[in-house]
Structure formats: C-alpha cells, structure tokens
Structure 1
Amino acid sequence: METLLHPEEHQSCLNYCMRKDANIRLLHYPQGTHQIVDTSNPIIIAMLEGEVLVTSDNYKEIHHTAGHISLQMHNSSSYIHVLKASTFISFHSPHDISLCDRFSLQQLPQHIPATFKYQFTLLPIRPRVQEYLDYLRHCLEDGLGCIHFHELKMQELFLLMRAYYTKEELATFFYPLIGKNRGFKDFVYEHYLHVNNLSEFAALANTSIDTFKRRFKEAFGEPAYKWMIQRKAEHVYRDLILTTKTIGEIAEEYRFSSIPYLTTFCKQHLGKTPQQLRNEAEKTREALLH
C-alpha cells in the first residue's frame, strides 16, 4: 500500500465518497459468512480472490470463483455464501451502461446465439482486465475515493470489455439488460418492490391492466403476477435468513397488512412459516461453524 498524500484535502472534498456510497468498492469477506449484495443499481462483481455461491432471484447457488465477473440486476434479491475468504471489486452503475461511443448495449441482441438460454453468465477475467483490476485495487486500498476517479475507472472497465471480449460474450453477459423492451424492464425493476398489485403497477405505467400484462409477458416471458410473487418471496426469504429485521418489520417492508398474512404467504410460497425459515437458517449456520 502506498501513502495517499494530503488525505485531509481529499476527504474534505465534496467529490470524495465513502466506501458504502462509492460506485466502485473493494470488499473482503471471511470464509463461512453470508452477505447481502447491494443491488440498488445494476452491479458488476469482479472476483479477485476466493470462492462464493451466489443466489440472485431464481438463480440459486451459482459457483463464482476468482478470475470471473458476474452481473447482478437492479433490485434483485442477491446474496452470497462465502466458501473461501474472498476479495472482490464491485461496480455500481447508476447510469446507462455504455461500452463506448460507437457501440451500445442495444446493438448486442443481434449477437445472441440462436440456442442461447440465460443462466447467470460468468465472464472470465482477461489478462488486460486483470491488470486494470490489480491497479484499481491498489488505488482503492490507498484510499483514493474521488468520484471523478471512480467515474473514469468505470468508463475504462467498459472500454476494456468492449476491447477484449467478443460481441457474443458481451451479449450473453449483458443479456438481462438488452433487448427492445429494455425501457419497460428498467421500469419494472425500479418499481416492482413498491406496488401492491397489478392494478397499481399498470396505473404507475399509465396503461391498462391488459396492456401491462401483455407488455410484461413480451419482456419477461412469464405472467406478471407469477413473476412478482416469485421476486417478493425471494426478498422475504433473504431478509428472514440474513438480517436481524423482526418479522413485523419484514411484513411492513413488503406491504403485508399483518404478520399472519406474511405467515400465510411464506407457508404457501416458501413451504414454512417465517420463524421456521429463520430457525432453519440459524441451525445451518451453527453447523457450518462446527
């Protein structure tokens, strides 16, 4: 680690960001822990060291090892189980991802292989990208938290991806973000946790329920109600097993009118009551520690 000169000037600057607010974050997690992934924006995770199992929405326990990059969708229910002590750099993109001025994500759909089916694609870290990540890691360890530096390094990552990955690789990696319905998909991911039913969702989209259902099926390939229930169940399950929120707080956060309604929902969609799910997860963690 090299000493960052004039740290007081950097840290007092309005353009300095703390780690929890930074667009680029260097994170270390010990073996055996479970961690919730911040998906308030779309996030790219580059694994530098270690080994984890990633659960993201309906993709369960995907094996993610050092030397690979993953993509997490905005507002997805994502968390990791750390199999080996891990270090990674996360890139949180608050704006549209642009690979370069001459090539956008919306030009990628034509490069999706005909038989491709998305299954949480991982990209290998290429040598030049590894060199970039090593340099970035050193700067983050030194405490370089300038917003402008982070924005430049974010742009550099996308330029390197454009330069060192085929269009087919990029199309399969960014698959959840591309396609003719992207604007509608972005709208859904932005708001689905904050509506109670399809009527509210359709009204928010300024369209009829039938039109909303049709557009949803075209964009996501399944009925809107089924998709929303699955996402809500995944978020509830994650918070039950990985947070200290009370069951009442979880019921309120996910817009259940009472704890009994949450209990009925959990029994129907997760197979057990909230307390049973929480107790089961605690026993599993204790067994892993011993």
Structure 2
Amino acid sequence: MLVNSREYAGTMLKAGEFMLQPISSKIEMLAMTDVECIYYQFNQPELFCDIRYNRIMKETDPPLIPSPLPIIPELQHFLESARTYLSEKKICRDLLSLKRKELAFILGYFYSDYDLASLVHPLSKYTSSFECFVYQNYKKVKTVEEFAKLGGYSQTTFRRIFDHVFHEPVYEWMLSRRKEEIIYELQNTEATISEICYKFGFESLPHFSNFCKKSFGTSPRSIRLKRSSE
C-alpha cells in the first residue's frame, strides 16, 4: 500500500509493517494490489506514559526518514484478535477500550525507545496544536459558544481560527461529527433510541426523530431495523 502524508511521503507500507499517523495530519492511501489492513483511529492517544514519552523526546533522536515499523509476533496476535472482533456486526466499546490498552502495553513493552521515536516525534508536533484541541474536546461541548469558552477564545476568534485550520465553519463541522456518532450509536450499540436521544441533548423523541428524518432521510427506528435485517 502506498502511503502519502507529511510524515510518510511516498512510503510503501508492506505486509508485516505498521505506522502511527498523527491525528490531524492529512493522509492518502492507495492500494497497489488486493490488500487487507486494520485502520485504527483515535482522538486521545493512550500509547506511552509521560515519563517514557518525555525521555524519548529529550534523549532519542528521531530517524532522519520516518519508516514503518515491523509487526512483531505479539502485535500480530493482537491484530488477529482485533480482526475477529471487527468482523462482527456489532462491536462493544468496552472491549475496544481494553484492546486500546493492550496495544499501549505491546508498544511500550516490546519496542525500544528508538523504535518508538519514529512514532513519538511526529506525534509531538500535533499534541499542542489547535487541531488536537478540537479533536480531543469536541465531544465535551454542545455549542460553539461552549467550545470557544473551553479553549479560552472569544467566539469570533475561535470561528476565525477554526475556519482557517479546517476550511469549514465550526457549526457545520460539529454537526457532521454529531450525525456520524448518532448513526454509529443506532447501528452498533444496544442503547435504546430514548437513551441515544437524550445522550445527544435532544429535548424529546419527536425532536430526535425529526432530526434523523431531516439528516438521514428516515427515522431512528428505521435505521435500527435496517441494521437488524442486514
């Protein structure tokens, strides 16, 4: 698979290799042949303890040219079990949380500081960025006003920075994320429609139903029934 990003420009990702891509870095992937891979996206990295992270940043120079790391047997076992879970129609979030912790242990225990330097140094460029703040906190707020206040910005300044960084108005971006999460909840969890309704701040079930019909062209119940029939 050909990967092209700021960190991995024109890099071939071969069988038995993996890479960690910073959350706000743009990436393009092109399959050169039939291929199967696991793409794992997260907002808050749970990969290294602060002591290990700081030591790598201070004492271990990153490679001049970042390259993918080999998948060792322990990581291969992890990926095989993850693949089994991902093939199921429904995925338990608690299980995914445990798998995330398992991944953190494997990387921290079986890979050297030098190996991890190729992951940590690119990641560090984004940990204090505006993009990182947005991705780590957008689920905590319901309005643009709350979002701006959380970051210590005026609404005008926050909107201006957001437009410049994401090339999209903040309200529209938040609405898109909200729609994605509602669809996920309806299709992949056992939460009742009422629970999902109030989780996302809707005042009533009719209000939630109208939102779904306007956004997805059908009712929450129809979305869930469609999942059951697949």
Shorter-chain TM-score category?
A: 0.5 to 0.7
The C-alpha deviation readout for 1:96-145, integer Å capped at 9, x for no partner, is 795933347xx99xx89xxxxxxxxxx9763xx334525889xxxxxxx9
CA distance in 2, matches of 1:178, 1:264: 42
1:74 Cα deviation after fit: 1.4
2:72 aligned partner, one-letter code: Q
Q: Is the contact between residue 181 and residue 219 of structure 1 (CA under 8 Å) also seen in structure 2?
A: no
1:130 aligned partner, one-letter code: I
Structure 1, gaps ≥5 residues long? 1-46, 49-61, 76-90, 113-122, 138-144, 285-290
TM-score, normalised to structure 2, is: 0.57
Q: Is the contact between residue 69 and residue 124 of structure 1 (CA under 8 Å) also seen in structure 2?
A: no
Q: Is the contact between residue 213 and residue 219 of structure 2 (CA under 8 Å) also seen in structure 1?
A: yes
1:260 equivalent to 2:206? Answer yes
Q: Is the contact between residue 216 and residue 224 of structure 1 (CA under 8 Å) also seen in structure 2?
A: yes
The C-alpha deviation readout for 1:6-54, integer Å capped at 9, x for no partner, is xxxxxxxxxxxxxxxxxxxxxxxxxxxxxxxxxxxxxxxxx99xxxxxx
1:227 equivalent to 2:227? Answer no
1:93 equivalent to 2:62? Answer no
**1:276/1:180 Cα in 2 relative to 1: closer, same or farther (>3 Å)?**
same
1:154 equivalent to 2:107? Answer yes
Q: Is the contact between residue 216 and residue 223 of structure 1 (CA under 8 Å) also seen in structure 2?
A: yes
- Corresponding residue number in structure 1 for 2:190: 244
**1:192/1:150 Cα in 2 relative to 1: closer, same or farther (>3 Å)?**
closer
Q: Is the contact between residue 193 and residue 254 of structure 1 (CA under 8 Å) also seen in structure 2?
A: no
1:191 equivalent to 2:137? Answer yes
The C-alpha deviation readout for 1:160-211, integer Å capped at 9, x for no partner, is 6558xxx7xx79xx98x56568432332223212222101111122211111
CA distance in 2, matches of 1:257, 1:251: 8
- Corresponding residue number in structure 2 for 1:133: 75
2:161 aligned partner, one-letter code: R
1:276 aligned partner, one-letter code: S
1:281 equivalent to 2:230? Answer no
**1:160/1:208 Cα in 2 relative to 1: closer, same or farther (>3 Å)?**
same
CA distance in 2, matches of 1:94, 1:181: 13
CA distance in 2, matches of 1:279, 1:152: 39
Q: Is the contact between residue 47 and residue 104 of structure 2 (CA under 8 Å) also seen in structure 1?
A: no
CA distance in 1, matches of 2:111, 2:216: 39
CA distance in 1, matches of 2:112, 2:171: 35
1:154 aligned partner, one-letter code: L
CA distance in 1, matches of 2:207, 2:218: 13
CA distance in 1, matches of 2:227, 2:56: 44
The CA RMSD over aligned residues, in Å, is 4.4
- Corresponding residue number in structure 2 for 1:27: none
**1:265/1:161 Cα in 2 relative to 1: closer, same or farther (>3 Å)?**
farther
TM-score, normalised to structure 1, is: 0.47
Q: Is the contact between residue 192 and residue 228 of structure 1 (CA under 8 Å) also seen in structure 2?
A: yes
2:56 aligned partner, one-letter code: C
Correspondences of 1:74-223 after superposition (within 5 Å):
74=43, 92-93=46-47, 98=53, 100-101=56-57, 102-103=60-61, 126=70, 129-131=71-73, 133=75, 153-155=106-108, 156-157=110-111, 159=113, 161=115, 182-223=128-169
CA distance in 1, matches of 2:112, 2:134: 25
**1:153/1:244 Cα in 2 relative to 1: closer, same or farther (>3 Å)?**
closer
Percent sequence identity over aligned pairs:
27
CA distance in 1, matches of 2:225, 2:184: 13
1:247 Cα deviation after fit: 1.1
Bigger helix fraction: 2
Bigger strand fraction: 1
Q: Is the contact between residue 69 and residue 125 of structure 1 (CA under 8 Å) also seen in structure 2?
A: no
Q: Is the contact between residue 194 and residue 205 of structure 2 (CA under 8 Å) also seen in structure 1?
A: yes
2:172 aligned partner, one-letter code: K
CA distance in 1, matches of 2:193, 2:159: 31
1:211 aligned counterpart, secondary structure: helix
